[in-house]
Amino acid sequence: MPGEATVDVKAAVIREKSGRFLIEDLSLEAPRSDEVLVRVAGVGVCHTDLVCRDQYFPVPLPCVFGHEGSGIVESVGESVTKVKPGDRVVLSYLSCGQCEPCLEHSPGYCHELYDCNFAATRLDASTTLRKGDEVIHGNFFNQSSFATHALATEKNTVKVPDDVPLDLLGPLGCGIQTGAGAVMNSLNPRPGMSIAIFGCGSVGLAAVMASKVAGCAQIIAVDPNSSRRELARELGATHAIDPTQADPIEGVHQIRPTGVHYTLECTGIPEVLRQAVDSLTLTGVCGLIGVSPVGTECALDMNSIMFGRSLRGIIEGDSVPDVFIPRLIELYKQGRFPFDKLITFYKLEDINTAVEDTEQGKVIKAVLRP
C-alpha cells in the first residue's frame, strides 16, 4: 500500500496480451516477516513466462514475469532463518506447505499451486509492485524476477554455494530442474534402460543430460532443429531424429524394435504427445511436461494404453528444490551436468531480443543479467 517502505527497481512489464516487454521504474515493497529481498544476478527466460504473456493461463496484467531468478540476498523479514543478507540464492516455485501433497513431499502438486505461482499476488491477494498509484502485478512464481530485485519468501528461496557462477544458476529453479527431475525423480530409469525425448529446448536437453547421468543405454532426441539435435548428441543422446524428415515413431522402433521404456513430451503439441505415447514399449511410461493452452485435448489409442502403457503429467520434475537444486549443482561441478552449454546471456534491457531469439530457436536458454 502507498506509504509502506519500498525499494526502487527496474523491471520488464507486460501490459497487454502478447505485448512487448517494457522496461519501467517501479516501487517494490520491502520484505514482510517471511519474505526475502534478492538483488537479481541472472534470470532465465522460460517458455512458461512466454505462454503466460500470451495468456494461455489468465495471469492478470500489467505484470512482471520471470521465475528463474538467482541473486544475492539484500534483506530479510524478521522471521526468516534459512538465509541472511549476503547469501547467494536460487529462487524456485512456491507451494503452500500444508496440503496433503506438500506434506507428502510432492510440492509440485500442491492444491494451492496456481494461486501460489500464477495469481500474481500474495496469497492474501495483496500486491508488491506499483508505478506511482498504479498496481503492477508481481509475485509471479512468488518472485517476478525480470527485474533488478525480486521479492520471494523463505519457502521458495534455495541457498547455493559460493564456488559456482551465480548468474548461471537461475534456470535451475524451474526449466532445468523440470527436465532433469522428470528423468531422475519422476521416471527414475534404471541403468541400461531406454528413453526418447520429444522436444530439445532447455527442458528436453536437461532431460538428455539427466538420462546420461542415470545410465540410460539408448537416449533418443527428437527435434526438427539440427543445431539442437547436434547439441543433444554432445550432451549424451545416442541417437537423434528429425521429425520433419521421418516418422519419429518408426524412427524410435528402428532403434529399439519393441519401443522405449520411457518417453518425455516437452513441446505441448497434442500430435507430439501421441507420438511419444506410441513410441513406448509395453508397460512403458510417457511423462508430459509441455505446456498447452487451457482446454487443449489429445486423442490416444485406448488399446495402446490398455496394454500396459501409461501417461503421467509432471510438474517441476517432482522436485523438492531445497534438495534437488544442490544435487544438480554438485553434478555440474563434477562436469557431469554441463547445463551452462545451454545458456546465452543478455542484458535486462535487451529482453525483447532475448525473447525473439528464443522463439526463433536461435538460443536454447536466454538468461538476463539485470
Same domain, 58 and 160: yes
CATH number for the domain spanning 149: value is 3.90.180.10
- How many domains is the chain partitioned into structurally? 2
- Residue 330 within a domain: no
Same domain, 211 and 92: no
Same domain, 216 and 280: yes
The range of the structural domain enclosing residue 81 comes to 6-173+338-369
- pLDDT per residue, tens digit, the chain (370 aa), is 444 679 999 999 999 999 999 999 999 999 999 999 999 999 999 999 999 999 999 999 999 999 999 999 999 999 999 999 999 999 999 999 999 999 999 999 999 999 999 999 999 999 999 999 999 999 999 999 999 999 999 999 999 999 999 999 999 999 999 999 999 999 999 999 999 999 999 999 999 999 999 999 999 999 999 999 999 999 999 999 999 999 999 999 999 999 999 999 999 999 999 999 999 999 999 999 999 988 999 999 999 999 999 999 999 999 999 999 999 999 999 999 999 999 999 999 999 999 999 999 999 999 999 9
Same domain, 34 and 104: yes
Same domain, 147 and 238: no
- Residue 333 within a domain: no
- Residue 262 within a domain: yes
> How many whole angstroms separate alpha carbon 339 and alpha carbon 230?
15
Number of Cβ within 10 Å of residue 321's Cβ equals: 26
Residue 235 and residue 213 in contact, taking contact as beta carbons nearer than 8 Å: no
Cis peptide before 248 (omega within 30 of 0): no
The identity of residue 45, as a single letter, is V
Same domain, 125 and 159: yes
CATH number for the domain spanning 278: value is 3.40.50.720
- Residue 320 within a domain: no
Same domain, 279 and 202: yes
Same domain, 48 and 27: yes
- Residue 328 within a domain: no
The kind and range of the H/E element at 306 are: helix 302-306
